């Protein structure tokens, strides 16, 4: 009798990390390109808002009254650009659903998703930053010079990248879109409150808002860097005719309270560091969320079981206590019953 050949199970061949990264990056890029709501509609909205800002602050000039107008234009531009980035949250939530299913199958890990998302969204964010930054910069007539224009676009790109990462962190933690929009918008507004968009940093309450929120807020570093990029080197007309012109450095220190102890490039470096920190937080959220969440049902079940045991034990104590304190009556003393013994 011949022995039947042993049937070996098909083992799943795991691709290399580079192959996983390249494949997932290409797939994510194709999805972004095909889905009109992912970046294309948002890109159109960015351009329309940039044109609107350029019309409102067209050719702002260097009069004394334009000092505050320049600051308002910077805050207005960054504030709207930041808020528009919340529109990508529904697509991130769908991407998280696909990721959980494929991670469960062992196709790739958390680090691959974090890197692939950054690489696939990089060209779109660059285009948005260049289009919006160029339209605003040349219509408003900000500080002339290509280095200033380049800083404006790079600073805007880093800001949008941080917001995209924040939205992905929220998408990885919330169960639905409505909760994600509420939490994501709240986090962004909370970070913006500790920046010059609403109040100068020196005027913020020192406890909590200035230390440490203003230091961990991406909007603080972005606005400060753009203020320095815009004001340093400019001269504004004096308030009274005949007086000397106001230097941009003096305006930064006296009007806006922006420190000049470090350059705008340090502000940009801090913004890049915040971006990397947010990506690390995203990786930690993807990696450990399910592990932490899996402990809560067990904890809840243990507490429920302990509560039931305590209730049963207390009910038993009350029952035994009531029996112990109840008076003992003979059968003959009970109404309707007589003792059988004469």
Instruction: Report pLDDT digits (tens) over 212-265.
Output: 888 999 989 999 999 999 989 888 888 777 778 888 888 888 888 888 888 899
Residue-wise burial string across 253-275, b where 16 or more C-beta atoms lie within 10 A, e elsewhere? eeebebeeeeebeebbebbeebb
Residue range 37-65: mean pLDDT, rounded: 87
More confident residue, 313 or 137: 137
In the structure, what pLDDT confidence band is assigned to residue 295 with cuts at 50, 70 and 90?
A: low
Phi-psi map region of 3: left, alpha, beta (phi>0 left; psi -120 to 50 alpha)? beta
Distance, in Å, from the CA atom of 60 to the CA atom of 31, rounded to the nearest integer, reads 41
Please report, for the chain, the start and end positions of each structural domain, with discontinuous segments joined by +. Answer: 17-292
Are 155 and 129 within 8 A, CB to CB? no
Asked which of 39-53, 245-259, 280-294 is least confident by mean pLDDT, the reply is: 280-294
Distance, in Å, from the CA atom of 117 to the CA atom of 126, rounded to the nearest integer, reads 14
Are 113 and 24 within 8 A, CB to CB? yes
Give the pLDDT confidence score for residue 153 in this predicted structure: 93
Are 147 and 119 within 8 A, CB to CB? no
Distance, in Å, from the CA atom of 24 to the CA atom of 143, rounded to the nearest integer, reads 41
Distance, in Å, from the CA atom of 109 to the CA atom of 25, rounded to the nearest integer, reads 13
Give the pLDDT confidence score for residue 336 in this predicted structure: 45
Give the pLDDT confidence score for residue 339 in this predicted structure: 43
Distance, in Å, from the CA atom of 105 to the CA atom of 304, rounded to the nearest integer, reads 33
Per residue in 172-204, pLDDT (tens digit) is 888 888 888 888 888 888 888 888 888 888 888
In the structure, what pLDDT confidence band is assigned to residue 271 with cuts at 50, 70 and 90?
A: very high
> Residues of the chain with pLDDT > 70: what percent?
80
């Amino acid at each position: 009798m011949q022995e039947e050949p042993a049937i070996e199970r098909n083992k799943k061949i795991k691709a290399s990390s580079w192959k996983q990264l390249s494949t997932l990056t290409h797939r994510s890029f194709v999805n972004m390109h095909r889905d009109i709501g992912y970046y294309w509609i948002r890109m159109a909205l960015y351009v329309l808002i940039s044109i609107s800002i350029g019309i409102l602050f067209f050719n702002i000039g260097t009069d004394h009254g334009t000092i505050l107008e320049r600051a308002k234009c910077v805050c207005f531009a960054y504030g709207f650009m930041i808020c528009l980035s919340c529109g990508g949250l529904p697509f991130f939530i769908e991407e998280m659903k696909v990721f959980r299913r494929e991670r469960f199958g062992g196709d790739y890990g958390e680090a691959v998703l974090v890197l692939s998302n950054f690489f696939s969204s990089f060209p779109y964010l660059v285009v948005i930053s260049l289009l919006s930054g160029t339209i605003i910069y040349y219509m408003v007539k900000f500080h002339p010079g290509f280095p200033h224009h380049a800083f404006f676009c790079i600073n805007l790109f880093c800001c949008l990248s941080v917001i995209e990462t924040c939205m992905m962190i929220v998408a990885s933690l919330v169960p639905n879109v409505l909760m994600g929009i509420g939490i994501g918008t709240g986090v962004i507004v909370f970070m913006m409150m500790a920046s010059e968009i609403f109040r100068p940093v020196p005027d913020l309450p020192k406890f909590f808002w200035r230390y440490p929120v203003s230091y961990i807020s991406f909007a603080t570093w972005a606005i400060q860097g753009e203020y320095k990029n815009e004001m340093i080197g400019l001269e504004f007309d004096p308030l009274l005719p005949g007086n000397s012109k106001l230097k941009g450095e003096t305006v930064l220190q006296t009007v806006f309270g922006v420190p000049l102890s470090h350059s705008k490039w340090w502000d940009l470096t801090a913004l890049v560091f915040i971006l990397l920190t947010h990506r690390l937080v995203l990786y930690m959220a993807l990696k450990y969320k399910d592990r932490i969440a899996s402990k809560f049902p067990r904890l809840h079940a243990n507490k429920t079981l302990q509560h039931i045991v305590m209730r049963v034990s207390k009910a038993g104590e009350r029952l035994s206590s009531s029996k112990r304190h109840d008076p003992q009556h003979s059968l003959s003393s009970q109404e309707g019953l007589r003792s059988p013994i004469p």
